[in-house]
Structure 1
Amino acid sequence: MNETPHNPGIPGGNGYRGTVERSLETQVSQAVDAWLAWLPRWEPATHRGRVAPCRRCLGSPVLSAAGLGADVPHGVQHGLSTRIKTIVDHSVADYTALNLPMLQAELDHQAARNRARSYRPAEGLDPEFEGLPLDPEPIPGAPFLFTVAGLAQEADADVPALPPLTEEAKAALRQEVGLADDYANMVGREVCTVLLHHRLRIQSAVGEYVEPQIEAMLEELSRSLDVPFDPSDPAS
């Protein structure tokens, strides 16, 4: 009797799916709890804003599911989207380790390469700062003497490149990457469904801690525009 070749596919059995849903529900609840505990410490940024949009947050279905629209400051959005992305990443990592040996081997090689770097400034950051550019936007006419990203690239250049793959290995790896992407999309949809149940408390916290600070900034700006000069100053 011929055996059917193994194809990991996307796990979809009712028992497995129920376990995944329960696990994701717990993890998302904990992530929202952590974000809610951090939110009272948030303050509006006073430095110059960035020109480039955040690729993690712009158009994120996670933020849509959470009810954090474009009117919510990016720092508030980023703290939640990063925590949720970590959940998805860990789920995909577990699936990859169990079902996708070639992709896991490549990831192990890359992880070993990363550990060999002498300077890793993007690692170990709080969720509110993960994935953001390491350096501020340059000011025209005032170039940096050095940048954190540049130092990291210099350290990366000293690490040997990964070994080349055969064409057959590349094709097999592409197939496994596709399976990992499909699984990530499935987990992402599940996470967004769970987030819908947390929208009310997320929006309530934004109304309590974020909106008053934004209103205060707008009020201060309005006062400064109405009275551009100090009336007590004789020079005015």
Structure 2
Amino acid sequence: MQNKYPQKPGIDFILKQAFFYWNKTLIFQLMFSIIYFAIFFTGMFFFGSRFGIWEQSQELSEALRLGTKVYMEKAAAMSATENYQKFSYGILGIIVFLYPLNLGFFQIFRKMDLNEKIVLGDLFAGYNGLNFFKYISYFLFWFFIYLLTAQTIILGVAWVFVTIFVAPLMFFADKRIFEAITLNFKALKMYFVEIAVCIIVAFIFKYAGFALFLVGGLFTFPFWNAIIYSLYKTVFSEKN
């Protein structure tokens, strides 16, 4: 499989394409969000109860009434406890486990391009076989780097930019992580404005549903995947 960069399309074309994929798969967008949040909150409440986090949260609420300084001291003490650290690891495990759910949309969108029948099982394409471990390993690597760089904000944003195509390159072209990052960086130099605008639009639209329509967020939350696929399809031309 070879990768080349075609003539630059307009930003409007990329966005219209992304909204087309999103609009045509609304039922899968809804199913994604329901499955994602059901597993996430179930896991969060389970680990919270197991490690006594809810009781500590009540103590935090009471500390807040006594002033910001007392609250900050209580929060720092709470975060240093072994149970809180176990709770954090539990939440991280849930997030990592749920990451491959995003990759199912790549298969769904590709099937749309090929006029193939889409089934609910396509949403779980990222969990098929040993590739599941490849994807969660990548996300663990991505997430830890993001945690380190996000503290500076600028570096965190830069990390998102230089890895935006890694997942689809791994999924479609079977690229290794660092090979995919190299290809991503080359694409970024040529399509920086397009990528930047699309990332901003994706971020705003992804959370706008929760801010404006509450339950509408269940439809907009996975929109990020449509943007990534539209960008990937535009930037990378695949030929066997």
TM-score (norm 1): 0.31
| Higher-helix-fraction structure | 2
Greater Rg by CA:
1
TM-score (norm 2): 0.30
